Chains A and B, each alone.
Chain A
Amino acid sequence: MHDMSTEAVHHHAPPTGFIRKYIFSTDHKVIGKQYYGLGLVAVFTGMVLSWLMRLHLGWTSLAIPGLHFLSSTGAPGNVMTPEYYLQLMTMHATIMVFFVLTVAPFAAFGNFFLPIQVGAEDMPFPHINMMSFWVTFVAFLVLISSFFLGDGPALSGWTGYAPLSAVGGVAGPGQGLGQVLWAASLAIFCVGQLLGSLNFIPTTLDMRAKGMTLSRMPLNVWGWFITSCMALTAFAVLMPACILLILDHVAGTSFFVPSNLVINDQLQPHAGGSTLLWQHLFWFFGHPEVYIAIVPAMGIVSHVLIANIRRPLLSYKVIIACMFSIAFLSYMVYGHHMFVSGMNPFSSLVFSFPTLIITIPATLIVLIWIGSLYGSRLRINSASLFALGFISMFVAGGVSGFFLAQPSIDIMLHATYFVVGHFHLVMAVAAIFGIFTGTYFWFPKMFGRMMNETLGKIHFWLTFVGAYCIFMPFHYLGLAGNVRRYQAFVGYMEPLIPIHKFITVAALITGAAQFIFLYNLIHSRFWGKIAPENPWECTSLEWTVPSPPPYDNFGGRHPVVYHDPYQYGVESENGADYIMQDSTETPKEA
Chain B
Amino acid sequence: MAKIFAVTLILIAIGSAIPIIWHIWEPPADISTHGALIDEQMSETMAEAGLSFLAAQFVLAIFVWIFSNRPKGAKIGHFPGGATAMVLAGFLLVGTEVIALGIFGSRAWASVYFQPPAADAMPIQVQAGQFAFYFRYPGPDGKFGPMHPNLINEANLNFFGLDYNESATKDDIVTAEMAIPVNREVHLLMHSKDLGHSFYVPELRIQQDFVPGLDLSVHFTATKIGKYEIVCTQLCGLGHYNMRAYLYVYSQQDFDDWLKKEAALQ
Listed in ascending order, the chain A residues whose CB lies under 8 Å from chain B are: 81-83, 86, 155-157, 161-164, 167, 171-173, 257-263, 265, 267-268, 273-276, 309-311, 314-315, 318, 340-342, 345-346, 348-349, 352-353, 356-357, 359-361, 363-364, 366-368, 370-380, 385, 388, 391-392, 395-396, 399-400, 402-403, 405-412, 414-416, 457, 461, 464-465, 468, 472, 476-477, 479-481, 483-492, 496, 499, 569, 590
Chain B, residues 173-202, CB within 8 Å of chain A (1/0): the string is 000000000000000000001111010101
Determine if A408 and B2 form an interchain contact, defined as CB atoms under 8 angstroms apart: no
- In the complex, B132 has a CB within 8 A of chain A: no
Determine if A340 and B238 form an interchain contact, defined as CB atoms under 8 angstroms apart: no
| Chain A residue with the shortest CB-CB distance to B59 | A370
- Could you tell me the distance in whole angstroms from the C-beta of A387 to the nearest C-beta in chain B? 11
Determine if A267 and B149 form an interchain contact, defined as CB atoms under 8 angstroms apart: yes
Q: How far is the CA of A465 from the CA of B86 in the complex (A)?
A: 29
| Chain B residue with the shortest CB-CB distance to A159 | B235
- In the complex, B263 has a CB within 8 A of chain A: no
Determine if A590 and B76 form an interchain contact, defined as CB atoms under 8 angstroms apart: yes
- Could you tell me the distance in whole angstroms from the C-beta of B115 to the nearest C-beta in chain A? 11
Q: How far is the CA of A378 from the CA of B74 in the complex (A)?
A: 11
- Could you tell me the distance in whole angstroms from the C-beta of B157 to the nearest C-beta in chain A? 12
- In the complex, B82 has a CB within 8 A of chain A: yes
Determine if B207 and A318 form an interchain contact, defined as CB atoms under 8 angstroms apart: no
Find the residue from B69, B109, B150 having the highest chain A CB count within 10 A.
B109
- Could you tell me the distance in whole angstroms from the C-beta of B131 to the nearest C-beta in chain A? 10
Chain B residues lying within 8 Å of A263, measured Cβ to Cβ, are 130, 194-195
- In the complex, B167 has a CB within 8 A of chain A: no
The 7 lowest CB-CB distance pairs between A and B, nearest first, are A375-B77, A258-B213, A315-B83, A408-B108, A83-B238, A486-B241, A345-B113
Find the residue from B28, B91, B195 having the highest chain A CB count within 10 A.
B195
Chain B residues lying within 8 Å of A415, measured Cβ to Cβ, are 198, 200, 207, 233-234
12 new A-B contacts, CB < 8 A, other than A318-B86, A370-B63, A406-B105, are A155-B237, A263-B195, A274-B213, A275-B213, A314-B86, A342-B210, A373-B63, A377-B74, A380-B1, A380-B68, A415-B200, A590-B75
Determine if A360 and B214 form an interchain contact, defined as CB atoms under 8 angstroms apart: no
Q: How far is the CA of A341 from the CA of B98 in the complex (A)?
A: 23
| Chain B residue with the shortest CB-CB distance to A379 | B68
Q: How far is the CA of A263 from the CA of B194 in the complex (A)?
A: 6
Determine if A164 and B236 form an interchain contact, defined as CB atoms under 8 angstroms apart: yes
- In the complex, B67 has a CB within 8 A of chain A: yes
| Chain A residue with the shortest CB-CB distance to B108 | A408
- In the complex, B90 has a CB within 8 A of chain A: yes
Q: A376-B76, A377-B74 are in contact. Are A366 and B56 (CB under 8 A)?
A: yes
Q: How far is the CA of A315 from the CA of B48 in the complex (A)?
A: 26
Chain A residues lying within 8 Å of B101, measured Cβ to Cβ, are 356, 402, 405-406
Determine if A414 and B207 form an interchain contact, defined as CB atoms under 8 angstroms apart: yes
Q: A380-B2, A491-B231 are in contact. Are A388 and B60 (CB under 8 A)?
A: yes
Q: A311-B76, A491-B244 are in contact. Are A411 and B205 (CB under 8 A)?
A: yes
Chain B residues lying within 8 Å of A361, measured Cβ to Cβ, are 90
Determine if B5 and A380 form an interchain contact, defined as CB atoms under 8 angstroms apart: yes
Q: How far is the CA of A349 from the CA of B193 in the complex (A)?
A: 28
Q: List 21 A-B contacts (CB under 8 A).
A: A83-B237, A161-B196, A263-B130, A275-B196, A275-B211, A276-B214, A314-B79, A356-B102, A360-B95, A368-B86, A373-B63, A374-B67, A376-B67, A379-B68, A385-B5, A388-B5, A400-B49, A409-B105, A412-B205, A485-B235, A590-B75
Listed in ascending order, the chain B residues whose CB lies under 8 Å from chain A are: 1-2, 5, 8-9, 12, 15-16, 19-20, 24-28, 37-38, 41-42, 45-46, 48-50, 52-53, 56-57, 59-60, 63-64, 67-70, 74-79, 82-83, 85-87, 89-91, 94-95, 98-99, 101-102, 105-106, 108-109, 112-114, 129-130, 149-150, 152-155, 161, 193-196, 198, 200, 202, 205-214, 216, 229, 231-242, 244
Determine if B241 and A340 form an interchain contact, defined as CB atoms under 8 angstroms apart: no
Chain A residues lying within 8 Å of B2, measured Cβ to Cβ, are 378, 380
Chain B residues lying within 8 Å of A311, measured Cβ to Cβ, are 76
Chain A residues lying within 8 Å of B106, measured Cβ to Cβ, are 349, 352, 408
- Could you tell me the distance in whole angstroms from the C-beta of B19 to the nearest C-beta in chain A? 5
Q: How far is the CA of A400 from the CA of B52 in the complex (A)?
A: 11
Q: Which of A340, A379, A461 contacts B209 (CB 8 A)?
A: A340
Q: How far is the CA of A187 from the CA of B256 in the complex (A)?
A: 56
- Could you tell me the distance in whole angstroms from the C-beta of B43 to the nearest C-beta in chain A? 10
Chain B residues lying within 8 Å of A376, measured Cβ to Cβ, are 67, 76-77
- Could you tell me the distance in whole angstroms from the C-beta of A332 to the nearest C-beta in chain B? 14
Q: Which of A275, A372, A411, A465 contacts B207 (CB 8 A)?
A: A411
Chain B residues lying within 8 Å of A468, measured Cβ to Cβ, are 12, 16
Determine if A260 and B70 form an interchain contact, defined as CB atoms under 8 angstroms apart: no
Chain A residues lying within 8 Å of B244, measured Cβ to Cβ, are 490-491
Q: A315-B83, A340-B208 are in contact. Are A408 and B37 (CB under 8 A)?
A: yes
Q: Which of A171, A341, A472 contacts B211 (CB 8 A)?
A: A341
Determine if A402 and B48 form an interchain contact, defined as CB atoms under 8 angstroms apart: yes
- Could you tell me the distance in whole angstroms from the C-beta of B153 to the nearest C-beta in chain A? 6
Determine if B149 and A260 form an interchain contact, defined as CB atoms under 8 angstroms apart: yes
